[in-house]
Amino acid sequence: MTQDQEAVRGAFWADEEASLLSPDRAHVIRDSKTPSGSVPISGLRGPIITDALYRTFKKHRLDVRYVFTIDDYDPMDSASMKQKAGMAEQMGKPLCAIPSPDPSASDFARYHAERYLATFAVLGIRPQEIHWMRELYRSGQLDTQIDLALRNAAKIREIYERIANVRHSDRWLPVAVICENCGRLGTTEAYDYDGKTVAYDCRPDFVEWAEGCGHTGRRSPFKGGAKLYWNLQWCAMWDHFHVTYEEGGKDLLTEGGSRDRSNAIYREVWKKDPPFGLIHEFLNVGGKKMSTSRPDEWKALGAEAHEFVKIYPPYLIRFLMLRTHPKRHIDFDPTGNNLPKLWDEYDRCGDAYLVDRETDLAKTWSLSQVEEEHGAPGWRVRFSIVADWLQIPSVEPLREAEERKGEPLTPAEGDELRRRIALAKVWLERWAPDEAKFSVRPTMPDVTLSPQQRRYLAAVREVVGKITEPEAMQNELYEVAKRVGLVNDDGKPSRDAFASIYLAFLGKPNGPKAGWLIATLDPEFVRRRLDEASDAMAHA
């Protein structure tokens, strides 16, 4: 491909992002998560994109560090949580100060953060550093950032009004103080910074989602005494970790939204250039936008992140998130034939990797692998065929695969097959369409066959046991149709030919590849069934 053609086609999206970063300096790519409850699979799109970018930046020989923060000093503000038993009392407290729903963790934030981070390990997402906001605040590491924000409160108020049309009172300060009486920070209003302390009121009516205790006091905002509001905390993170790249979801990064405010504040208060970072689109499941405020809905779809990684192979989840450009939205729906299509696309990208590793498809396949250093794709069986195999009790998939391959599977190929078998079982049980499901009837189904179809089945009977290879059998089934004249006007075998086989064995007019079905089932059984179908039904 010439350079011109390359330019017309456009670079792979991750390479495009890498080209924004100067090779002459050190880079930090950052991502974060607020552990406020269960995470839907849409919450994995950002981290998988960030990880793919991190890997790509390294391939471009950029000096890059990957930092992840757990925003566990945020107040509990989730409306759905408020409905849960005992949670109303916790509203407005820092997530790290709320009891864990389960004795396995020390607190609410750790419980949810650890479940979320466990999915990272499975998916091959490996930040070099994970920081907890409670530790950054309490250790005083962010004190200079807090002081800077408080001294520039007037300028920050002006930026909020200019960029987002949000007006704060003239005494408003950009911190949430932790109330010394009730421990909440979502309910306090801070004012009057004297360089060491701020005054605050813990107000019952400050926010709708939590009720303050009415306490009024004065305390140091440092060493964990207060938390920066979200836009300011963002700037503090960029400065503290020297962040040069941070992507984010569309909800936060739209015009006039959070990111624009933070960018302006970073330029005007911190006097620094904000990081680069693309905006990724939403991921919908079953046509519905995943909203963390309606967890019951996505739980029903099997779309909780920590459940999702138990059902799907990790490389297929990475592939699902990476095969679509981050700027386009993803519609994920496991029903119908969508899963077999997703697997076929994955295999197509694997094939591309075998031919030329510099194509977009090959790069997508490579970035979908759990291990950064990985081999080429091995021999594999199409997902839809694995699903067919599972529906015939006499078929042992591993043996069937080795017969097809003509030699034993490598350990990696065996693992791959087992992954496909496991997901195909779930798919058949929960999501597969009726036409993908079948069972070989133990006795002749009550179906009507035409005289021509019966002649066809009688002729097929003659080759059973003589041809054992599925592809050869498939060809022979075509030839037999021509021989008995079961053809269309153009001379090609009629649909009625294959339909008669499915009717005789499955009791319905469609099914898996007929050649495979005939070659795979026990020859004695097949001959007996074909005898019955071609003969007995003649008198029906």
Which span sits near Zn ion by CB under 5 A: 129-137, 180-188, 229-237, 277-285?
180-188
Shortest gap between Cβ of 220 and Zn ion (angstroms)?
17
Shortest gap between Cβ of 416 and Zn ion (angstroms)?
56
Q: Mark 379-418 with x for binding to Zn ion (rule: CB under 5 A) and - for no binding.
A: ----------------------------------------
Which span sits near Zn ion by CB under 5 A: 17-25, 171-179, 238-246, 347-355?
171-179
Residue with smaller CB distance to Zn ion, 205 or 434: 205
Shortest gap between Cβ of 185 and Zn ion (angstroms)?
9
Shortest gap between Cβ of 101 and Zn ion (angstroms)?
24
Shortest gap between Cβ of 97 and Zn ion (angstroms)?
12
**How far is it, in rounded angstroms, from Cα 528 to Cα 523?**
9
* Residue 514, helix vs strand vs coil: helix
**How far is it, in rounded angstroms, from Cα 254 to Cα 9?**
27
DSSP 511: -
Using rule CB under 5 A, residue 202 touches Zn ion: yes
Residue with smaller CB distance to Zn ion, 175 or 473: 175
Which span sits near Zn ion by CB under 5 A: 106-114, 177-185, 459-467, 501-509?
177-185
Residue with smaller CB distance to Zn ion, 217 or 509: 217
Contact residues for 403 (Cβ-Cβ < 8 A; gap 6+): none
Shortest gap between Cβ of 221 and Zn ion (angstroms)?
16
Number of residues that bind Zn ion (CB under 5 A): 6
Half-sphere exposure of 296 (CA within 13 A, CB side): 5
Shortest gap between Cβ of 233 and Zn ion (angstroms)?
21
Residues of this chain, 356-385, that bind Zn ion according to CB under 5 A: none
Q: Mark 207-236 with x for binding to Zn ion (rule: CB under 5 A) and - for no binding.
A: ------x-x---------------------
Which span sits near Zn ion by CB under 5 A: 154-162, 173-181, 268-276, 337-345?
173-181
Half-sphere exposure of 289 (CA within 13 A, CB side): 7
Residue with smaller CB distance to Zn ion, 217 or 507: 217
Q: Which of 4, 25, 14 is nearest to 273 (CA)?
A: 25
Which span sits near Zn ion by CB under 5 A: 167-175, 199-207, 359-367, 378-386?
199-207
**How far is it, in rounded angstroms, from Cα 94 to Cα 212?**
13
Shortest gap between Cβ of 215 and Zn ion (angstroms)?
4
* Residue 98, helix vs strand vs coil: coil
DSSP run (H or E) holding 69:
strand 64-70
**How far is it, in rounded angstroms, from Cα 156 to Cα 165?**
12
Residue with smaller CB distance to Zn ion, 215 or 306: 215
Residue with smaller CB distance to Zn ion, 60 or 218: 218
Shortest gap between Cβ of 27 and Zn ion (angstroms)?
42
Burial class (CB in 10 A: 0-12, 13-18, 19+), 466: exposed
Using rule CB under 5 A, residue 179 touches Zn ion: yes
Contact residues for 530 (Cβ-Cβ < 8 A; gap 6+): 457, 458, 460, 461, 464, 504
Which span sits near Zn ion by CB under 5 A: 159-167, 197-205, 413-421, 467-475?
197-205
Residue with smaller CB distance to Zn ion, 91 or 265: 91
Residue with smaller CB distance to Zn ion, 146 or 179: 179
Structure tokens at 50: 């960030």
Q: Which of 254, 277, 279, 368 is nearest to 329 (CA)?
A: 279
**How far is it, in rounded angstroms, from Cα 225 to Cα 210?**
19
**How far is it, in rounded angstroms, from Cα 101 to Cα 107?**
8
**How far is it, in rounded angstroms, from Cα 104 to Cα 102?**
5
Which span sits near Zn ion by CB under 5 A: 77-85, 196-204, 222-230, 524-532?
196-204
**How far is it, in rounded angstroms, from Cα 71 to Cα 483?**
72
Which span sits near Zn ion by CB under 5 A: 65-73, 195-203, 226-234, 343-351?
195-203
Shortest gap between Cβ of 96 and Zn ion (angstroms)?
17
Strand segments, DSSP code E, in 286-433 are 288-289, 330-332
Q: Which of 80, 40, 87, 37 is nearest to 300 (CA)?
A: 40
Q: Is-contact 338 144, C-beta < 8 A? A: no
Residue with smaller CB distance to Zn ion, 184 or 363: 184
Shortest gap between Cβ of 240 and Zn ion (angstroms)?
28
Structure tokens at 466: 């003589």
- The site for Zn ion (CB under 5 A) is made up of 179, 181-182, 202, 213, 215
